[in-house]
Amino acid sequence: MPNAEILTATRSRLSFAEPADLVEFVDHLGRFERGEIGADAWRSFRLLHGTYGQRQEGDLSMLRVKVPEGLLLAPQVEALATVTERFGRGFGHVTTRQNLQVHFVRLGDTPDALRVLARAGITTREACGNSVRNVTACPYSGVSPDEAFDVTPYAEALTRHFLRHPLSSSLPRKFKIAFEGCVEDHAETAIHDLGFRARLRDGRRGFRLAVGGGTATLVSSAREIFDFLPAGQLLAAAEAVVRVFHRLGDRQHRERNRMKFLVRSLGWEGFRSEVLAEFEPLAAAGAVPLPFAAESPRLEEAPSGHRPWPPSPDEISARVLAQPLRGPGLVPEVTPTPTSGDTLAAWTRTNVRAQRQAGFVTATVSLPLGDVTAEQLRVLAELSRAFGDGTVRFTSNQDLALRWVLVDEIASLHARVSAAGLGLPGADTVLDVVSCPGAETCRIAVTQSRGLGKLVEAHLRATPRALALVPDLAIKVSGCPNGCSRHHVAGIGLQGSVRRVGDRAVPQYFVLVGGSASGPDARFGRLAAKIPARRVPEAIDRLLDLYERARLPGETATAFFGRVGVDDVKASLRTLAEIDATTARPEDFADIGEDHPFKATTMDGECAV
């Protein structure tokens, strides 16, 4: 299995799965059920194998599937469909780290789910826990017109280097890595523990490497440690940083054991000296070489050969509507839509981008809230074969990209994604609201972020001026202070919390404005207001009004909210933020998607176990 190749008609990829992982998981599960190992030992083990406890009582878990660089071959997409249908609610959730999460998986079903994934070359190893997490990359790598070079081979090499690495599964805390090759940072490398930006110097390949980024508590922008790291020294540099973190990271205080805290405690020069002391001997000895020539990895070429005929729109509609979806919680609303010249034009403007290879485009399929059903996954796998190269890429905005689509086939593709209920325009715009799973399943979430995300996106899509006025504005929703939706680096970030009005609880959201991570340094949102949850759409309208009347000529919404004074934002939202027993509305006391009085219930999380 480790050396097996997963094949499509035009692409292949070595498996990430390892048979011993499944054997070990089954053994540990049996020992736990027989009482031979305790709950703490079992929890640490299952987290390293991608199984994360939910807030629901019983043996229900979230299974996080690791998708390196967000890249999947069509057979792997079909395997994910099988897992979501057989063991989850009939749909999965794409995350901002390009993983797929399946919720409400019974513990006893987990080995069978892992077996399905392993046969397709997919692993959950080190998708959770104190480990090197999924290595993410720009979804346009290899086809972007303005990239320095394709970062995908380098990101995959680093993935394979750390997967099952002796240090990777025993770090003080989780460790996140991202790669970007474009001028714009689609991977948001500045908020990662390691952020690699491709550079060319004197015809040689290399990376600007920044370290120590992160959100949640102590938001930090990664700092440059190498202005130009030769590509051949990539693995040595990453290994050096991980060694320092493993050796010196804080293992006693879970609230400050991310690497950004180590950088702060040592001071920048002290931390840098430790890294260089590890790196220089490794680099000098050539101890951690890439598995290919650093200057000439295999190029991604245009697909060739036979492309199968795609299913018809009518067939697709019938299939996606026939698949049953299960609760609890919000389930995707699968609504096949007809196409027209206008809908095609709108989708092409926002969801289609030219590749550097003439005649080809990349089409982004919008997945509202990051949700995608099992049958939609199967359809997308078929469309990737018929219109693309047999691969898909998850994006950090929780969408899915189909690459190598012929320009002449855009309309035909759009008709079919629309038939699957996935033809919405607005990818990577203000209409593409990002949300974490929230209190529906997460143990540490305070509010139902999915409910608010759905409400805000529907409101914006029903507001004709929104896309025209603020196309670049990112809106991201989290149910707690952690950064799973990356709300700290959104133009408008919404963070769930609670307030008391008399003896009753009100779900509310901190409104953060001015965040961005598209450049070399991250800019973090500033707290402007605390708004009851059901008033958030009105707050968004007021922020759009503020931008419309106070922007500078040619100023984008992202730039405006990074510049505008917080007092001006507070003034525009003040009456919405004010609430007491006399001004509260009945709906203020229920969270979105719920019909009972709100009660803030949090549990011990497993993020830092």
Instruction: Write down the mean pLDDT value for the chain.
Output: 96
Structure tokens, 274: 């430790």
3-state secondary structure of 586: helix
Q: Which CATH superfamily is domain 144-285 in?
A: Sulfite Reductase Hemoprotein, domain 1 (3.30.413.10)
Give the torsion through C-alpha atoms of 550, 553, 559, 562, to 10 deg: -30
Distances (CA, A) of 117 to 1, 80, 122, 394: 12, 7, 5, 17
287 exposure class (CB count in 10 Å sphere: 0-12, 13-18, 19+): exposed
pLDDT in tens, 42-59: 999 999 999 999 999 888
Domain ranges of the chain: 144-285, 313-419, 434-589
- Top-tier CATH class for 434-589: alpha beta
Looking up tokens 């097996």 gives 4
| pLDDT of 1 over the 60 cut | no
Kindly report the CATH number that applies to the domain delimited by 313-419: 3.90.480.20
Q: Where are the alpha helices (DSSP H) in 18-136?
A: 19-33, 39-48, 74-87, 110-119
| pLDDT over 60 at 255, yes or no | yes
Once rounded to an integer, what is the mean pLDDT over residues 584-604?
89
Question: 177-235, pLDDT tens digit by residue?
Answer: 999 999 999 999 999 999 999 999 999 999 999 999 999 889 999 999 999 999 999 99
pLDDT of residue 217: 86
- Asked if the model's pLDDT at residue 402 lies above 90, the reply is yes
In this predicted model, which residue has the larger pLDDT, 571 or 605?
A: 571
User: Among residues of the chain, what percentage have pLDDT more than 90?
Assistant: 92
Total residues belonging to the chain = 609
- Which pLDDT belongs to residue 455? 98
Res 407 pLDDT > 70: yes
Q: Cα–Cα distance between 269 and 271 in angstroms, integer?
A: 5
Confidence of residue 607 (pLDDT cuts 50, 70, 90): low
Same CATH topology for 313-419 and 434-589: the answer is no
Rounded to whole angstroms, the Cα distance separating 63 from 83 reads 10
Nearest Cα to Cα of residue 570 among 607, 539, 600, 538: 539
pLDDT tens readout for residues 458-506: 999 999 899 999 999 999 999 999 989 999 999 999 999 999 999 999 9
The helix or strand, by DSSP H or E, that contains position 51, with its residue range, turns out to be strand 51-53
User: Looking at the predicted structure, is the pLDDT value of residue 2 above 70?
Assistant: no
Confidence check: pLDDT of 515 > 80: yes
More confident residue, 265 or 217: 265
The pLDDT value recorded for residue 608 is 58
- Per-residue pLDDT, 600: 85
Per residue in 527-581, pLDDT (tens digit) is 999 999 999 999 999 999 999 999 999 999 999 999 999 999 999 999 999 999 9
Give 374-394 pLDDT, tens digit per residue. Answer: 999 999 999 999 999 999 999
- pLDDT tens readout for residues 147-178: 999 999 999 999 999 999 999 999 999 999 99
pTM value is 0.97
Task: For residue range 101-152, list pLDDT tens digits in order.
Answer: 999 999 999 999 999 999 999 999 999 999 999 999 999 999 999 999 999 9
Q: Cα–Cα distance between 114 and 110 in angstroms, integer? A: 6
